[in-house]
Structure formats: structure tokens, C-alpha cells
Structure 1
Amino acid sequence: MSGKYDHLFVTNFKECASDMVYEGDVAGQRLPPNLSEPLAAMRAADVAQASTYITTSWVSQIDHEVEWVREHEHIYDEVLMFVGNDPTKQNDLGGEVYMTIEGEKHVFTTTTSVFIPAGTKHCPLGFHKVERPFLFFAVALSGTGNYMP
């Protein structure tokens, strides 16, 4: 029996790297060896009413620095989240991430979220090291549920 709200659930997230065609020079780059393929957690392609686009990836161990995303910008606001996986130390990310916003470099080792206003140049983004896997989420507040320029 189907429920009235079944269409609002996304299960078995689908691979979504091909959606990310608007990342400019970062599009089509090979993923670093410590990243899983991105999966779509929410997008208009799966839930027609969705006005946000959410993707997630696992970030695994690596003992040397690796760059993931080059500098770019969007016409919409974006939120990036880096979430540790230890329930006894929820704010311990398990790695050291670096990210630049408008030329200002930030380094963090804790569970972190970053709000990036529309039109703000951001990245490079990468990892100095990762000792324990953690989750990454990108939330595109595009208003359309699509990943856009």
C-alpha cells in the first residue's frame, strides 16, 4: 500500500557527479582517492517539490595533503557541512580540512558548517590529513532543487 507522502522520501541515494556541471574548472576533475562518489540526498530530479539540492560524500583516511575543489562561485547561497562520525566525540571531525573564502584561508578539525553567500568566491578546498572517515554534505540553496551556475 502506498502512502500519501511516499513521493517525499529519497531512499537509495543515486550517484550524482554528472549533475555538477556548473562547477567551472572543478567540473570533471578526478576525485581524490579518499572520497566516495557523490550521492544525491535531495534534488528536484527525485522530489519534484524540492527547492534545495543536497549531495553527500564520505571522506576517508589519507596521510598526505590532497586538494579536492578549485576556486569557484555560484549564483545561489550554499552550505557545506563536515560531520565527524564518533558519537562519543561529535565535534571531533577526524581530519584537518582547509578551505579558502575570497582569499582568506581557514583550517578546521571539528565538525563544521560553512555558509557561502551567492557570488562569493570559495575554495580551494582540501585535506591536510584524514585519520578517521567523516561525512561531507553540500546544500545548494538554488530555489529550484537543481545544481546551477
Structure 2
Amino acid sequence: MPDTYEHLFVRNMVPCGSDFSNEGDAAGLPTPPNVSPPLGLMRVNEVPQSQIHMSHTWIHEVDEAHHWVNDHVHEYDEVLIWTGSDPENPEDLGAEIYLDIEGVRHNITTSGSVYIPAGVRHCPLGFIKVTRPFNFSALSLSPEYDSDENEGLIEKLKAEALATSESAS
């Protein structure tokens, strides 16, 4: 029986930093020294049928505070996920990070996530300190990442996905 589902797997996470206009170099800010390049876990670029955009980023140790992501809003729901790397104590993030939602600051020290409804302004996001690496994932409940600071990206991603799909056939 032929495998008709292989095209739905992402087996090589590719750098996807250019998808995000609100952080690091894309926002005109220096990328914090403790942030690895984001990798695409699920994107329309690799799986044209995907209805989500999800990235994976390792955050490494840092002793001083660093701003990472500018404030922005999406027209779709989003889930931000941060997971500690200590298998003996998975709830301990090994870091203190901050995230503003509609101007209210939230300090985070445990593994967890936050659901951000469409239209809710969120960030800045940054690090107060990181004593142990942790994983940060952003799950956009949309095929492409887009925000009020990211005009035109959806059209570019759709064109890239179409070109990839046409070259595969």
C-alpha cells in the first residue's frame, strides 16, 4: 500500500526567521544573543495544506535583561508556549521572562503557555534572566504568520507555497 501521507510530515525544520517582523533583525532590533534562529515546525511553505504556522526556538542562558519581540496584534488566535529543559522538574522554566498583554505585564517562571485571542495586542516579550536553556514555540492558528507590523507577508508566503507545490508536481 503506497504511503499517501508522507507529504504531511516536516522532517527538516528550516530556519523561518524571515516570517517574523516583530522580533530581532526583522524589527530593526539586534537579536538577543541567547536566541537561536527559529525553525519551522509546521508552515504552509513545507506543507501547503497546513492551516497553522508553528515555530520552535531554543532560548539559551543570559545574565542580563533583553527585549526580544515588539508589541503587535494578529487577526487570528495564537498560542505561545515555553517549556523548561529539566526532565526532573519540567515545570521549572529555568528563566524569568516577561510578556505584556494589552499593556499588562506578566512575569513567567514556569513552563506553560498563553492563548492570545485574535485582536488582542501583546508583547513586548523579553528575558529578565535565563539560567538554563528552554524551548519557545509560537503556534499561529493561521496558515501564515502575519501581524499589524507585517503587511504583505501573507501574499509572499502564498506565492512561495504555490511555487513549491508546482515544482513538486
TM-score where L is the length of structure 1: 0.91
Give 1:82's aligned residue: 82
1:27, CA displacement in angstroms? 3.1
CA contact (8 A) 2:81 2:113 kept: yes
CA–CA distance in structure 1, aligned partners of residues 54 and 29 of structure 2: 20
Give 2:55's aligned residue: 55
CA–CA distance in structure 2, aligned partners of residues 65 and 27 of structure 1: 18
Distance 1:50 1:18, change over 3 A: same
1:18, CA displacement in angstroms? 1.3
Give 2:36's aligned residue: 36
The question of 1:112 aligning with 2:95 is answered no
CA–CA distance in structure 2, aligned partners of residues 133 and 24 of structure 1: 19
Cα deviation code 1:56-93 (max 9, x no counterpart): 10000000111101111111111000001111101000
Counting helix residues as a fraction of each chain, which structure ranks higher? 2
| Rg (Cα) greater in structure | 2
Distance 1:4 1:31, change over 3 A: same
Structure 2 SS opposite 1:7: helix
Distance 1:51 1:9, change over 3 A: same
TM-score where L is the length of structure 2: 0.81
The question of 1:148 aligning with 2:146 is answered yes
Structure 2 SS opposite 1:62: coil
CA contact (8 A) 1:99 1:124 kept: yes
Structure 2 SS opposite 1:14: coil
Return the letter of the residue paired with 1:96.
E
Counting strand residues as a fraction of each chain, which structure ranks higher? 1
CA contact (8 A) 1:24 1:72 kept: no
Once the two structures are overlaid, the 10-residue window that deviates more, 12-21 or 49-58, is: 12-21
CA–CA distance in structure 1, aligned partners of residues 93 and 23 of structure 2: 28
Structure 1 stretches lacking a partner, 5+ long: none
CA–CA distance in structure 1, aligned partners of residues 13 and 54 of structure 2: 11
Structure 2 stretches lacking a partner, 5+ long: 148-169
CA–CA distance in structure 2, aligned partners of residues 86 and 50 of structure 1: 31
CA contact (8 A) 2:23 2:68 kept: no
Q: Which has the higher contact order (CA 8 A, sep 6+)?
A: 1
CA contact (8 A) 2:100 2:123 kept: yes
Cα RMSD between the aligned structures? 1.9
Alignment of 1:19-30 (within 5 A): 19-21=19-21, 23=22, 27-30=27-30
Return the letter of the residue paired with 1:147.
Y
